[in-house]
Amino acid sequence: MSKDAGTPRVFLARHGETEWSANGRFTGTSEIPLTPHGELQVIGTGQKMAGPGKLIDPAKLVRIFVSPRQRAQRTLELLLPNNSTETEITNDISEWGYGKYEGLFSHEIRQGRKERGLDKERPWDIWIDGCEDGESPEQVTVRIDSLIARIREMQKDSMHGEKPADVLIIAHGHSLRAFTRRWLGYPLSFPLSVMLDPGAVGILSYQHRNINEPAMLLGMALPADK
C-alpha cells in the first residue's frame, strides 16, 4: 500500500431506524428490529459509501466491531452484504444500560425522577447522572476506553498507510456519541453536541498522522465512481 494511502479511520455506523428510535423511546437491551424504512436507510448508505473502491472499502478494513443487539447485527448485514472482514461482537460498544429507563420517553424519565425527589437543582442529564439501576457515565467510560485502546494498538503502526488499518463500528446513538467524546479525550460530561441519524456514518481519525492526536473528521471527499 502506498505511503500516501491515508491516515487510519474509524467509521461509526448507527443502526437503522427502529420503532422505538423513531418515536424517541430509550432502547438499550430491548431487541427491537429495524423498520422497513430503517432497512432502506442502511441499504442506501451502503450503496453509496460501502464496498470496493468506496469510502468504507473492505480492502482497507482490519476489523469490524458490532454491538450484540440484533438491530446492529442486521445493520452490518445490510451495509456490507458480502462482508469477509474479521468481525467481533462486543459489549464494549453496546448501547448505554438504561436500567429503570428502558423503553421510556425523556419526559417520562424526568417526571419519574422528580416524583422520587431527584434533580432538585438541575434537570437530569444522562451524561452526568447516568441511569437508575443501569449504567453510570463512569461504567460506560471504562468499557469504551477499553475498545479505544485496542483500536489505537491496531492503528499505531499504520499512520502513513503502511497496511490496512481502518475500523468499522456498528452500534447505537448514545454509545457512539460516548465513543466520540472519549476518542477526543473528553469526559462524557463534556458538552459536545453531536448527532448521528439512524443508518448514518460518522468518521474519526488522527491529525498530522499522529496516534497521539485523535480527531473528528468533519468531512472528506468521496472516491470518484470508476
pLDDT tens per residue across span 163-176: 999 999 999 999 99
pLDDT-derived band at 222, boundaries 50, 70, 90: confident
**Do the strands 166-171 and 10-14 form a parallel or antiparallel pair, or are they unpaired?**
parallel
Domain count of the fold of the chain:
1
Does any domain span residue 139? yes
Residue 5 has what pLDDT? 53
Are 95 and 68 a contacting pair, CB within 8 Å?
no
35 in a labelled binding site:
no
> Averaged over 65-90, what is the pLDDT?
97
The catalytic residues are 15, 95
pLDDT-derived band at 226, boundaries 50, 70, 90: low
Residue range(s) defining the domain that contains residue 41: 10-216
42-49: long-range pairs with CB below 8 Å, 24+: 42/15, 42/16, 42/75, 42/78, 42/79, 42/199, 43/78, 44/199, 45/13, 45/79, 45/199, 45/200, 45/201, 46/78, 46/79, 46/80, 46/81, 49/201, 49/222
Length reported for the chain:
226
27 in a labelled binding site:
yes
19 in a labelled binding site:
no
CA 116/CA 209 separation, integer angstroms = 50
97 in a labelled binding site:
yes
Specify the amino acid at residue 179.
F
Angle at 44 between CA 151 and CA 58, to 5 degrees: 35
Does any domain span residue 72? yes
Percent of the chain surpassing pLDDT 90: 92
Does any domain span residue 14? yes
Does any domain span residue 187? yes
The domain that holds 150 is classified in CATH as 3.40.50.1240
Does any domain span residue 70? yes
173 in a labelled binding site:
no
Count of beta carbons in the 10 Å neighbourhood of residue 59? 10
Does any domain span residue 3? no
User: Is the predicted pLDDT of residue 219 greater than 90, yes or no?
Assistant: no
Does any domain span residue 5? no
Digit-coded pLDDT (tens) for 106-145: 999 999 999 999 999 999 999 999 999 999 999 999 999 9
Does any domain span residue 150? yes
pLDDT-derived band at 91, boundaries 50, 70, 90: very high
Digit-coded pLDDT (tens) for 8-29: 999 999 999 999 999 999 999 9
Q: What is the pTM of this model?
A: 0.94
Cell of 99: 436500567
28 in a labelled binding site:
yes
> Averaged over 29-49, what is the pLDDT?
97
